[in-house]
């Protein structure tokens, strides 16, 4: 799995081990102290880091992460990210997250065509600004239960959205960690898709990791373009609509109550124009 286990003495192996340790450190998988051991050992290809690791109480660094670990790490990374945001809903979403995290992680992997097609393009810009979060999403993705929701009447929600989105619940009634009346997950929508005006009982936080995207909060209200990392809070039944830009929409979402009440579409005559609209990058 890694250059960390290159044979001692192999030419260049000290530096290669240090580079591999740096990757693990950036993923949050080893501590600064462990990284320092590999830095010291990088000077001589024949130097075994194991005795120094033992001195600081570290046995095996390379125990491979399980699927449940990857999901847990994504939840940790999501919490760290949401903690950097300010505004309404942030505290409530984190309170629910911290209430339910630590529960048993159930893994039911479900691959998804939208994820296969669009996740990489969403993660590329995120990697530049939030490397650890992007890596934890990438690492957990094969183990998540990705769903393209089919509960909206197709003629109301439109074919673009019906076929162009996927989400995975991390903590929730059908999440990797079971919760009641709470939902934390990750949401992906293909470029240029219009997620038509709708509302639902659940008060909701969107934490978009990509951008720009257009939003409006009721038909006949103006489209507001928001960049990545500007959260949106929707009170219960507040109408909202999302127009995806050229980069796929990738967001964390949190529903803090009334999670089993289904969303309703709000008809608007300007959907064809909004569906044809192309936002600037
Ligand atoms: Fe919503």
Mean pLDDT over each residue of the chain, to the nearest integer: 94
Average pLDDT of span 96-122: 97
Residue 63 lies in a domain: no
- Separation of 236 CA from ligand 1 center, angstroms? 9
Average pLDDT of span 15-19: 92
- Separation of 204 CA from ligand 1 center, angstroms? 6
Higher pLDDT, 13 or 188: 188
Contacts of 116 (CB under 8 A, 6+ apart): none
Q: What is the DSSP letter of 3?
A: G
Question: Three-class SS string for 171-229?
Answer: EECCCCEECCCCEEEEEEECCCCEEEEEECCCCEEEEECCCCEEEECCCCCCCEEECCC
Span 34-60, pLDDT tens digits: 999 999 999 999 888 888 888 888 776
- Separation of 7 CA from ligand 1 center, angstroms? 52
Domain shared by 17 and 119, yes or no: no
251: containing domain: 68-276
- For 69, the enclosing helix (H) or strand (E) is helix 67-83
Domain shared by 103 and 161, yes or no: yes
Cβ proximity of 279 and 210 under 8 Å: no
How many domains does one find in the chain?
2
User: Last residue of a domain, which of 55, 78, 96?
Assistant: 55
Average pLDDT of span 113-128: 98
Domain shared by 191 and 151, yes or no: yes
Average pLDDT of span 196-214: 98
- Separation of 69 CA from ligand 1 center, angstroms? 29
The CATH number of residue 240's host domain is 2.60.120.10
Residue whose tokens read 């076929």: 163
- Separation of 279 CA from ligand 1 center, angstroms? 21
- Separation of 240 CA from ligand 1 center, angstroms? 7
pLDDT at 62: 61
Contacts of 257 (CB under 8 A, 6+ apart): 181, 182, 201, 202, 203
pLDDT exceeds 50 at position 1:
no
Span 254-276, pLDDT tens digits: 999 999 999 999 999 999 999 99
Residue 155 lies in a domain: yes
- Separation of 272 CA from ligand 1 center, angstroms? 21
- Separation of 180 CA from ligand 1 center, angstroms? 18
Domain shared by 221 and 247, yes or no: yes
- Separation of 133 CA from ligand 1 center, angstroms? 23
Residue 179 lies in a domain: yes
Strand order in the sheet with 224-226: 224-226, 213-216, 240-244, 194-199, 264-265
- Separation of 241 CA from ligand 1 center, angstroms? 8
- Separation of 101 CA from ligand 1 center, angstroms? 23
Domain shared by 162 and 46, yes or no: no
- Separation of 105 CA from ligand 1 center, angstroms? 25
Span 211-256, pLDDT tens digits: 999 999 999 999 999 999 999 999 999 999 999 999 999 999 999 9
Residue 62 lies in a domain: no
- Separation of 231 CA from ligand 1 center, angstroms? 13
Q: Are strands 177-178 and 165-172 parallel, antiparallel or unpaired?
A: parallel
- Separation of 150 CA from ligand 1 center, angstroms? 15
The two tokens of residue 7 are 């044979």
User: Last residue of a domain, which of 14, 31, 55?
Assistant: 55
Residue 60 lies in a domain: no
Beta strands in the chain (DSSP E): 165-172, 177-178, 183-189, 194-199, 204-208, 213-216, 224-226, 232-234, 240-244, 249-255, 264-265
* DSSP three-state, residue 110: strand
- Separation of 199 CA from ligand 1 center, angstroms? 6
Domain shared by 160 and 195, yes or no: yes
């Amino acid at each position: 799995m890694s250059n960390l286990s290159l044979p001692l003495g192999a030419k260049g192996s000290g530096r290669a081990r240090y580079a591999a340790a740096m990757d693990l450190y950036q993923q949050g998988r080893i501590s600064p102290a462990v990284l320092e051991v590999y830095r010291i050992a990088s000077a001589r290809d024949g130097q075994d880091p194991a005795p120094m690791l033992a001195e600081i109480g570290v046995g095996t660094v390379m125990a491979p992460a399980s699927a449940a670990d990857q999901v847990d790490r994504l939840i940790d990374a999501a919490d760290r990210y949401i903690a950097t945001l300010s505004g309404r809903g942030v505290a409530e979403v984190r309170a629910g997250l911290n209430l339910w995290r630590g529960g048993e992680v159930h893994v039911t992997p479900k691959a998804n065509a939208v994820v296969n097609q669009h996740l990489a393009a969403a993660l590329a810009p995120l990697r530049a600004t939030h490397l650890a979060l992007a890596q934890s999403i990438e690492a957990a993705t094969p183990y998540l239960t990705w769903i393209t929701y089919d509960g909206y009447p197709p003629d109301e929600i439109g074919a673009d959205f019906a076929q162009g989105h996927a989400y995975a619940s991390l903590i929730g009634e059908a999440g990797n960690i079971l919760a009641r009346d709470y939902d934390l997950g990750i949401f992906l929508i293909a470029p240029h898709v219009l997620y038509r005006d709708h509302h639902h009982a659940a008060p909701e936080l969107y934490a978009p990791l990509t951008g720009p995207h257009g939003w409006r909060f009721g038909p006949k209200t103006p489209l507001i373009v928001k960049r990545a990392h500007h959260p949106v809070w929707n009170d219960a039944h507040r109408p909202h609509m999302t127009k995806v830009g050229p980069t796929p929409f990738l967001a964390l979402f949190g529903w803090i109550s009334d999670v089993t009440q289904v969303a309703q579409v709000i008809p608007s005559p300007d959907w064809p124009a909004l569906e044809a609209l192309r936002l600037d990058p």
